Amino acid sequence: QARLVDSGGGLVQAGGSMRLSCAASGINFKIATMDWYRQVPGKQREMVATITSSGLTNYADSLKGRFTVSRNNAWNTVNLQMNNLEPEDTAVYYCHSFYCGRDFWGQGTQVNVSS
């Protein structure tokens, strides 16, 4: 059974940094494209960053330069380094993978950025 577990959220002041992690199990992680999404109450979930199995990355245009996604295939983890955080980055962040024809989501981790 595939499982994604998100961690690393919390409270940070504007301008600060935070690192989120996602631990994957039950999938062949080395071939999986992994994503980070975020969602604010009342709004649609939006893609934050994607990293392919070969390490190619893609980011939401508004986040380029502040967020960095990386993966560790030895540990089956994907990370999201967030720098220069803004109050508008406050959201629940979710790890995601579309694997073997199904969507898998982490449970989400709350990030709060205070002004």
User: pLDDT tens digits, residue range 25-82?
Assistant: 999 999 999 999 999 999 999 999 999 999 999 999 988 789 999 999 999 999 999 9
Residue 88 phi, psi (nearest 5):
-70, -10
The pLDDT value recorded for residue 64 is 77
Residue 65, phi-psi category: left (phi > 0), alpha (psi -120 to 50), beta (remainder) = left
Token digits of residue 68:
């960095």
pLDDT category of residue 1 using cuts at 50, 70 and 90? confident
Q: How far is CA 75 from CA 72, 81, 91, in A?
A: 6, 17, 26
Provide the H-helix boundaries in the chain: none
Eight-class DSSP state of 64:
B
Q: Stretch 6-27: mean pLDDT, rounded?
A: 97
Q: Distance between CA atoms of 75 and 65, rounded to whole angstroms? A: 26
Helix (H), strand (E) at residue 29: none
Asked if residues 35 and 49 have their Cβ atoms less than 8 Å apart, the reply is yes
Q: How far is CA 48 from the centre of its chain?
A: 7
